[in-house]
Structure 1
Amino acid sequence: MVPPHKEEPMSLKIHPDAITALKDFSLPEQIGFGSTISPVMMNCEYKDGKWGELEMVPYGPITLSPTCKVLHYAQEIFEGLKAYRVMGKGPFLFRHLENCKRFNHSAARMAIPELPEEIFMEAVEAITAYSADFIPRESGSSLYIRPFIIATEENLGIKPSEKFSFMVIASPSASYFASGSLKVLIERNAARAFTGGTGTAKTGGNYAASLLTSVKAVELGYMNTLWLDGENRKYIEEMSGMNFFAVVNDVLVTPKLTDTILAGITRDSLITLAKNLNIPLKEETINIDSLIESIKIGECTEAFACGTAAIITPVELLGEEDGTTYELKYPIGPISKSLKENLLAIQEGRMEGPMGWIKTIEPATY
């Protein structure tokens, strides 16, 4: 485990009101997920071809012109990551360098200037340090951290913005899904992403495209959506906001990455853990109808979704719009249970993980 981050970033400017906001803040009794926000946020502006100074300011509304490009052309990106402080240890940041790399991959796809790694890392580590007192101590709870960049140039012309705001906010959060498993709608008509599009970028438009189907899924009694490829509507890609895994004949399988599937950091972590635990693994193209047949004859015994927010969420059944359902043998299977327990133990500092996965952050004093 990397030694605690003790030094205060030299380039971080701290607004006096930010310290006041920290001192005045207290957690509500019920924090939920993503609804309670840390009293400070990080901000850095891009203009005249360069990124400026990183500053910590009080959390609050931001002012945007109605002609701001992000409002019209959706030029924006975001990330999601977590810090843990179970039983007072830590905080522990999990693989935030990988989030930084993916952030800049998304930036390149969305014509956003690359954010220097040191700015991203300082911003994430600083908001963790200053929010340390507000991180819940219960296992499964965390500080959910949301870095994002929005295009702020005031111009209705359809061209890339020349001004941007990078911000980081954080949310002390309980578990995303407290317990149980998901009933998932197979989406055979609409598509989430297409070859050559923005499928590998973490940008809002990809998520907006899934919202209508999410409404339909809930109306039909499901809780999430399983997306198929945009060209053939035959091959499994991912679920709404999460990657997909299944266990077929005791082999863990997941769709191989393409330019229409987001490269999940939790997905990558689970693949590494599976190899370390000697769980047979395949990354391959998965035909939805073949998987359904495997469920029917008992070869596919479990399935689950994974992502930063939920870590691992079991799938109890897949279903069609007409109400036909395919139930998994294990609503909560042994492989998904083992992987989640091991990954969470690493994230919470209860178990040693691969080198570089965890960084300990020294809580800030103020």
Structure 2
Amino acid sequence: MGQVAPVGPYWLWSAVQHPLLLRFAEWTPLVLALVVVWALPLAAHLQPAPRSATARGSTAETAAGARSTWPFVVVLSCLAATAAFLGGTLVSRLLIHSGIAERTRTMDGFLLAFTHGNLVAAMFLQGLVAVSTAALLVPRHGPMAALHGLTAAFLAGCLVTAVLFGGVLAASCVDALALRPAACGGVSVPFVRNTLMRILVGGTACSLLAITAGGTALAVRRRGRPDSPPRPVAKAATEGRLTARRGGLTALLLAGSVTVFACTTDKTDRTFGPPPGGLEEVRSACQHYDELLGSLDALTTAEVHTRLDEAGQLAVRGGEPALALAFMEHFKAAPEGDSAAFETYGERIHQTCGAAGVVLVNLP
């Protein structure tokens, strides 16, 4: 695939496109975990404080509270990230359409690489939003800044997903944005749901890593400084309570909407491959892989990776993520000269496909 479009390092491709990760991202309860990691602490933090505690707040804290800006920082971070992603999407589509031959940009491998690049950009952008939001808010909000950073990253992930599919819809109707000529139409709702989950899963992982790294760097930096009197940190109970509560409730409402969408939408994309039925998809996956092995000499690198990806996705949809993993590891073991792994995964493929009633003629 790297012959028709850059896809970056293999470990990054494997992390984003790994069959087990694709299966994990389709797991419905996962969206609850993604929301709970920041929504419950935020909801608890928005609870009114006792009047006695409020009365004890210092004048400095009250004045700082009147100027509370964390909802605005979160919103501005999300909008800035969305605008950057929108601009990058439009520019990349225009440049590809005008600068790359139609024969190349309509290849499955090129389209897969383009989609991979968008997913990676969306995930890393969420990490950047999280750490930048936390960095802006930590002087006044302390540890709560990390929570606001995760909130901003989650909302940014939802917005960039909307931009991603908005670009797909626009490209189907505007020729200057299209990579492959197609009739103006819509997109599959299950595909939107699964892509949103993948972006949120990867984005949350990037956000947690970025905030952890940023917090560690900040702690090391503070440790090297001489001790100084701590500056007053305004509590949420005294920091622009009305604005903060409205912003928090809006974020919770959006998160709830995403949760309902993910939990009530069928995750099976029926527009791709054979009808769902488990066994039929496993059989189709085995046949795809066997045909791939039998036609390696006649295929380009991009076509090989595209067919390997199709076989893996069919196996995942058929309820056999282990078979998809075996495809990847078996195929990778051959050029690496790992005969033990080649034999081990080849035997697993033979067993699984044999149980599904498929005889592999091209697998040694």
TM-score band w.r.t. shorter chain: under 0.3
Q: Which one scores higher on RCO, CA 8 angstroms, separation ≥ 6?
A: 2
TM-score by length of 1: 0.21
TM-score by length of 2: 0.21
More strand as a share of residues? 1
Structure having the higher Rg: 2
